[in-house]
Structure 1
Amino acid sequence: MPAYHSALNEETDVRQVGNVGIFPVRTKIRGPAPVADPSQGDILDETLDLFRANSLFRNFEIKGPADRLLIILILFISDCLAKLGSSRAPSSQLEASKTLNTLAVDNFPVPGDANFALNAHYAPPGSRADAEYLRQYLTQVRQELAARLVERLYADGTGKPSKWWMSFQKRRFMNRSLGA
């Protein structure tokens, strides 16, 4: 059974930095991301929907620029769940939000950096300005994704993270991690 791919791979008028697609996002966080139509889903909704299913796969065939962004975001969600799961007591929603926002804005490697985990599958940005744009875009997207993940983790109102999400904290998509 093949992994689930992004439906946004079919879009042709998408800016690419290296070979990572820059897709519109519904967000209130400042940054360079294009603004998405509020009535439709975006790449972050798709990532959250596909995360648990794709986490079960060791192989993933990249079919376009949206899949490259999807991989980065799925690995970021894995790192978020691992970070939340590493605390001794379950975090409250506010603590989890603060922890994941800090993780989202921490310095991280982008495609083309020497310590980026998946450099073999990604083209480096064409210039230093493109690399900085990609870093800013990914920072904005990571912040919004962390906020949406916290909403899903604590959606049941019990004040504890969902066991159905936290059960994926040790599972690694493609046996990789963006973290150390």
Structure 2
Amino acid sequence: MSPRADAVRNRQKILDAAREQITRSGPEAGMDEIAAAAGVAVGTLYRHFPNKTDLVTAVIAEYLGHVADDAEAANARLAAGATAIDEITSFVERVLETSAVDHAVKAAARALGAATVDEAAESRARAAVEPLIAAAQKDGDLHPDVTVDDFYLLISSAPIDQPPEARARWLTLVFRGLVGPESLKRSENIGKRRPPSR
């Protein structure tokens, strides 16, 4: 394995360990503990991330990048013939579940003054979600006044600190106010899908 490939692998191990340790211990999670959980030397961790704020910022950026990737994949499935409202509901459900997992990391980011927004990733996600919304509205499955900003509001106000059953029920109720009458039957399955593994 080349040094660069090894460095990439170590960086990912550090990010995964940081997410796990911060979820468990909050902003007090120590860099030594994170390095140990990642199976790397403390010096290796500091070469990648000079301080904890940089590390938490990178964890948040990775999460937002995954959201953007997911939105783009949903848009690609739409272009291949998938139903827009199905892609929207599935996407929002997945974002809700991953947001619940990363809730503690975001709290730590705010406590440490780390960035909680990645403008490039947000721009990618927005560009991918907009066609989904437009297609669902064209199909009559989504109210015509719903916007991308409404979906950001939806996620930002979600009860991500509640148990999975409560989140699923909340999502079902919220979507009943967003979708058109023709898609209410399909929305009954929202929240019943298993969240993706990470």
TM-score, structure 1 as length reference: 0.32
- The structure with the larger Rg is 2
More helix by share: 2
